[in-house]
Structure 1
Amino acid sequence: MKKKILIYGVGPFGSLFAERLKEAGYKVSLLDHGKRQEDLKKYGIVIENAVTKEQTVTHVPVVECLAEEDFYDLVIIPVRKNQVSSILPTLAANKKIRIFLFMMNNAAGQNELVEALGQERVMIGFPLPGGYLDGHIVRMLPVNDKKPMALPIGEPGGRITERTRETAEILNSMRGYKTDIRRDMDAWLKTHVAFLVPTFVPAVYACNMDAKRFAETRDARVLSVWALREAFNALESAGEIISPPGLKRLKYVPEPIFVFLLSQLAKTATFQNALEDLKTKPDEIKHLADEFFELIRPTSVEMPAIKRLAAYIYQEQEPLPSGQKDIPLNWQSVYGMLGAATFAAALYKVARK
Structure 2
Amino acid sequence: MKILFYGAGVLGSLYAARLQEAGQDVPILARGRRLADLKEHGVVLREATGTGKRTATRVGVVERLAQEDAYDLVVVIVRKNQLPSVLPALAGNGHTPDVLFMLNNAAGPRQIVDALGKERVLLGFPVAAGWREGHEVRHLVLPGWLQRMQKTPLGELDGRTSPRLGRIMGAFRVAGIPVEASPNMDAWLKTHASVVVPLELAVQAAGADVRRLSRTRDALVLLARAMRENLMVLRALGAPVTPGSLRMLAWLPEPLLASLLGRFFDTEFTEMGLGTHADDPLDELAQLAGELGDLSRAAGVPTPAADRLRGHLDPAAPPIPDGSARIPMDQHAAVVAALGAAVGALVVLRRSRSR
Quickly name the TM-score band, shorter chain normalised. Answer: over 0.9
Quote the Cα distance in structure 2 between the aligned partners of 1:121 and 1:139. 32
Change (3 A) 1:218 1:179: same
Aligned to 2:87: 88
Aligned to 2:98: 99
What pairs with 1:17-166 in structure 2 (closer than 5 Å)? 17-52=15-50, 53-142=52-141, 147-148=147-148, 149-166=150-167
**1:349 CA drift (Å):** 5.4
What pairs with 1:230-309 in structure 2 (closer than 5 Å)? 230-272=229-271, 273-309=273-309
Letter of the structure 2 residue corresponding to residue 193 of structure 1: A
Deviation sequence 1:206-244 (CA, Å, 0-9, x none): 111111110111100001111111111122223333222
Quote the Cα distance in structure 1 between the aligned partners of 2:329 and 2:200. 21
Quote the Cα distance in structure 2 between the aligned partners of 1:136 and 1:28. 19
Quote the Cα distance in structure 1 between the aligned partners of 2:47 and 2:57. 14
Change (3 A) 1:145 1:73: farther
Letter of the structure 2 residue corresponding to residue 283 of structure 1: D
Letter of the structure 1 residue corresponding to residue 44 of structure 2: V
Which ranges of 4 or more aligned residues in structure 1 deviate by more than 6 Å? none
Aligned to 1:4: 2
Which deviates more, 299-308 or 337-346? 337-346
Aligned to 1:223: 222
Change (3 A) 1:335 1:295: closer
Deviation sequence 1:241-269 (CA, Å, 0-9, x none): 32223322211111111111111111234
**1:80 CA drift (Å):** 0.7
Change (3 A) 1:90 1:260: same
**1:194 CA drift (Å):** 1.3
Aligned to 2:12: 14
Task: Please report the TM-score for the alignment, with normalisation by the length of structure 2.
Answer: 0.92
**1:337 CA drift (Å):** 3.9
Quote the Cα distance in structure 2 between the aligned partners of 1:192 and 1:223. 18
**1:144 CA drift (Å):** 5.8
Letter of the structure 2 residue corresponding to residue 124 of structure 1: L
Letter of the structure 2 residue corresponding to residue 267 of structure 1: D
- Determine if contact 2:46/2:138 at 8 Å carries over to the other structure: yes
Q: SS of the counterpart of 1:154? A: strand
Quote the Cα distance in structure 1 between the aligned partners of 2:79 and 2:270. 20
Quote the Cα distance in structure 1 between the aligned partners of 2:348 and 2:230. 40
Please, which runs of 5 or more residues in structure 1 have no aligned partner?
none
Letter of the structure 2 residue corresponding to residue 22 of structure 1: Q
Letter of the structure 2 residue corresponding to residue 155 of structure 1: E
Please, which runs of 5 or more residues in structure 2 have no aligned partner?
none
Q: SS of the counterpart of 2:239? A: coil
Quote the Cα distance in structure 1 between the aligned partners of 2:339 and 2:311. 39
Change (3 A) 1:144 1:172: farther
Q: SS of the counterpart of 1:296? A: helix
Task: Please report the TM-score for the alignment, with normalisation by the length of structure 1.
Answer: 0.92
Q: SS of the counterpart of 2:46? A: strand
Quote the Cα distance in structure 1 between the aligned partners of 2:284 and 2:251. 30
2:152 matches 1:171: no
Change (3 A) 1:340 1:240: closer
What pairs with 1:328-343 in structure 2 (closer than 5 Å)? 328-343=328-343
Letter of the structure 2 residue corresponding to residue 130 of structure 1: A
Quote the Cα distance in structure 2 between the aligned partners of 1:342 and 1:121. 54
Aligned to 1:320: 320
Q: SS of the counterpart of 2:36? A: helix
Q: Alignment RMSD, CA only?
A: 2.0
Percent identity for Structure 1 against Structure 2 = 38
Q: SS of the counterpart of 1:47? A: strand
Quote the Cα distance in structure 2 between the aligned partners of 1:240 and 1:346. 37
**1:135 CA drift (Å):** 2.4
- Determine if contact 2:217/2:324 at 8 Å carries over to the other structure: yes
Letter of the structure 2 residue corresponding to residue 113 of structure 1: I
Quote the Cα distance in structure 2 between the aligned partners of 1:187 and 1:347. 38
Quote the Cα distance in structure 1 between the aligned partners of 2:340 and 2:239. 34
Deviation sequence 1:47-69 (CA, Å, 0-9, x none): 12121233222121212221111
Change (3 A) 1:86 1:252: same
